[in-house]
Amino acid sequence: MRVLLRLFAVLVLLGGCSVTPEKDTGTVTFRLWDEQVARAYEESFAAFTKQNPGITVTVEVVPWADYWTKLATDIGSGTAPDVLWTNTSNFGLYADNGALLPIEDPQRAGWTPSVVDLYTRGGKLWGVPQLWDTIALYYNKDLVTKAGVDPADLTWNPAGTGDTFLPAARALTTGNVYGFNASLDNQGVLWDFVGSNGGAWQDGDAFVFADRPKTVEAVQYLVDLIGEEHVAPPAADTTTNGDKTLQLFTQGRLALFQSGPYHLRAIHEGASFPWGIAPMLAGPAGRVSVVHGVAAAASAATRNRDATGQVLRWLGSAEGVRPIAEGGYAFPGVTAAEPAFTAYWKKQGVDLRPFLDAARGTTFPAPVGPRAGAGTTAAGSVLEQVFLGQLGVEEGLRRAQSAANDAIEE
């Protein structure tokens, strides 16, 4: 069997046309999925090699579409990179199976605490925070001025009391302009609404959203914004095209767009109107933003533990992640490098404070667990029907929950 598995791994590798070169002592491989940020890392590692002349770091980019498939086969066949980017929904599988080295590092105090929490599993830390996202509200200045809406302080409430958001969304919806991007966007909308209503999505690794009345209530409110109030684009438009709401916003056809800093560049380059960033919508439980982070993890199969450790220490230092911040790519995982990122966008006339405030407030963790990705995908195909109005919210959430829990089962 081992031989067959090896053979299979070889076939998969051949399919991916990948050749992993023999590792010399002093060469550390680093893998990520973002071609843009790879440039920042090249710069970072050039500085690293200057300080550590014995070690060179090779950066390899594997596109997102193949990243997890390729990583799994590479780890299975012992050809994994020494250091690799991971997200929250995927590292659990590797951490649980001993494929990663736990991080033991005294620099921890300087790292973004919420990201450290996300990558703490079984009492150990499994990744060095590299970058993070929180959620805020992009708004079209022309449209909110015309409708007389102040986007800075909008509160929604499923009970209706003190709901300032719904009247604003109604006022902003005119002709072919929608007020708000209510849609099945987990990170930017759905989980933030759930959190801001005091609901929960997971308990440990298990999905529990259908059992929490606060969660059901929040989802009902969101779905009604689409199907009843019509202040959001029809779900049929947004479910088959995940970028639809971003496109509508940059075309000036969406007034309020709740999303993360990952869309800063697209909006900055695409919008031909004045826009700003306000704090995310507040719910009955306040503003609770999803926080998601990317971390650098070390393969347990590394043949070069010392050099790999040194690279990780570098990546956990302010100098190590500064190119990511300075290039305007993302909020860095090391707090001391944050000002470089906000300074970059200040120069472009964009104030990022709402994202920072969201990170310091109550946050809602992105899904975790060894098969969280599978659970989210399974739930998503049922939730899609809920948002389309083809399934009732309660019934839909129950079905989505059992589908998600089936998918994460061993």
Partner 1 sequence: MGDAEKRPWVGYAFLAPSLVGVVGFLVAPVVVVAVMSLYRWDLVSPARWVGTANYRVVLTDPALIRSLAVTALFVVIVVPAQTGLGLCTALLLDRRLPGSVVFRAIFVVPWISAPLALGVVWRWILDPSDGALDALLGQRVEWLTSPGLALPAVAAVTVWTNVGYVALFFLAGLAGIPGQYREAARIDGAGSWQTLRLVTLPLLRPTTFFVLTTGLIAAFQTFDTVYAMTRGGPGGRTDVIASLIYREAFTSFRMGRAAAMSVLLFLLLITVTVAQQRYFRRRTTYEVA
Residue 348 makes contact with partner 1 by CB under 8 A = no
Residue nearer to partner 1 on the CB measure, 134 or 385: 385
Residue nearer to partner 1 on the CB measure, 76 or 339: 76
Residue 19 makes contact with partner 1 by CB under 8 A = no
**SS3 per-residue string spanning the chain:** CHHHHHHHHHHHHHHCCCCCCCCCCCEEEEEECCHHHHHHHHHHHHHHHHHCCCCEEEEEECCHHHHHHHHHHHHHCCCCCCEEEECHHHHHHHHHCCCEECCCCHHHHHECHHHHHHCEECCEECCEEEEEECCEEEEEHHHHHHHCCCHHHCECCCCCCCCCHHHHHHHHCECCEEEECCCCCHHHHHHHHHHHCCCCCEECCEECHHHCHHHHHHHHHHHHHHHCCCCCCCHHHHHCCCCHHHHHHHCCCEEEEEECHHHHHHHHHHCCCCEEEEECCEECCECCEEEEEEEEEEECCCCCHHHHHHHHHHHCCHHHHHHHHHCCCCEECEHHHHHHHHHHHHHCCCCCHHHHHHHHCCEEECCCCCCHHHHHHHHHHHHHHHHCCCCCHHHHHHHHHHHHHHHHCC
Residue 5 makes contact with partner 1 by CB under 8 A = yes
Residue 366 makes contact with partner 1 by CB under 8 A = no
Q: By rule CB under 8 A, what string of x and - marks binding of each residue 218-237 to partner 1? A: ---------------xxxxx
Considering the complex, what minimum distance in angstroms separates the CB of residue 33 from partner 1?
15
Residue 73 makes contact with partner 1 by CB under 8 A = yes
Residue 377 makes contact with partner 1 by CB under 8 A = yes
Dist. CA 278–CA 153, nearest whole Å:
8
**Which of 212, 263, 322, 371 touches partner 1 by CB under 8 A?**
371
Sequence-distant (6+) residues with CB within 8 A of 321 are 44, 130, 131, 315, 332, 333, 334, 337
Residue 391 makes contact with partner 1 by CB under 8 A = yes
Q: Which stretch binds partner 1 (CB under 8 A): 20-28, 142-150, 219-227, 380-388?
A: 380-388
Considering the complex, what minimum distance in angstroms separates the CB of residue 131 from partner 1?
24
**Which of 49, 374, 394, 398 touches partner 1 by CB under 8 A?**
374
Count the site residues for partner 1 by CB under 8 A: 36
Residue 121 makes contact with partner 1 by CB under 8 A = no
**Which of 28, 32, 59, 75 touches partner 1 by CB under 8 A?**
75
**Which of 33, 94, 138, 207 touches partner 1 by CB under 8 A?**
94
Considering the complex, what minimum distance in angstroms separates the CB of residue 146 from partner 1?
22
Considering the complex, what minimum distance in angstroms separates the CB of residue 241 from partner 1?
7
Considering the complex, what minimum distance in angstroms separates the CB of residue 298 from partner 1?
15
Residue 183 makes contact with partner 1 by CB under 8 A = no
Q: Which stretch binds partner 1 (CB under 8 A): 6-14, 185-193, 210-218, 311-319?
A: 6-14
Residue 381 makes contact with partner 1 by CB under 8 A = yes
**Which of 388, 393, 397, 404 touches partner 1 by CB under 8 A?**
388
- Amino acid at site 100: L
In the complex, the residues that contact partner 1 under the rule CB under 8 A are: 1, 4-5, 7-8, 11, 68-69, 72-73, 75-76, 93-94, 97, 99, 233-237, 239-241, 371, 373-374, 377, 381-382, 384-385, 388, 390-391, 407
